Amino acid sequence: MTMFACTAQDLTFAVGTLDTGDPARVGDALVALRSAALANVQGQVTYEANAAVTGMTPHPAARDVSFVGRLPNGKLVHERVVVFSHGARAYQAVLVGPERDEDAARTFIGALRVLP
């Protein structure tokens, strides 16, 4: 998996991608990416819907999830994760911060695109 991340104003923005090698394996990859993000902070889901990213390949495991959890140091963390795919490639977009920031999430998630 390759991931790119940056931090601005106490928020971390990250996008990761991996080639599953076979479109039939995408569903398992998307479920694993969502589950791992949730488990990393022992999160409690506060919102979940189908992912809607321009250019993505529709898949039932493509999800847009918000949750609240705790970092290893015990600090509260809010996380928004979108998992989606294009062909055999799975993607994970993540926004993490100490507080929920709907404006930042809307901008970040709304800007996601899969280009040909």
Give tens-digit pLDDT for 89-100.
Answer: 999 999 999 999
Predicted pLDDT at 53: 98
Residue 17 falls inside a structural domain: no
Residue 78 falls inside a structural domain: yes
Residue 19 falls inside a structural domain: no
Residue 86 falls inside a structural domain: yes
Residues in the chain: 116
Label residue 116 by pLDDT band (50, 70, 90).
confident
Say if residues 7 and 92 touch (Cβ distance below 8 Å): no
Residue 18 falls inside a structural domain: no
Burial call 17-28: b when 16+ CB within 10 Å, e when fewer = bbebeeeeebbe
Question: Which residues span the domain enclosing 75?
Answer: 33-116
Residue 13 falls inside a structural domain: no
Q: pLDDT tens digit string along 43-82?
A: 999 999 999 999 999 999 999 999 999 999 999 999 999 9
| Domain count along the chain | 1
pTM of the entire predicted model:
0.95
Residue 51 falls inside a structural domain: yes
Residue 106 falls inside a structural domain: yes
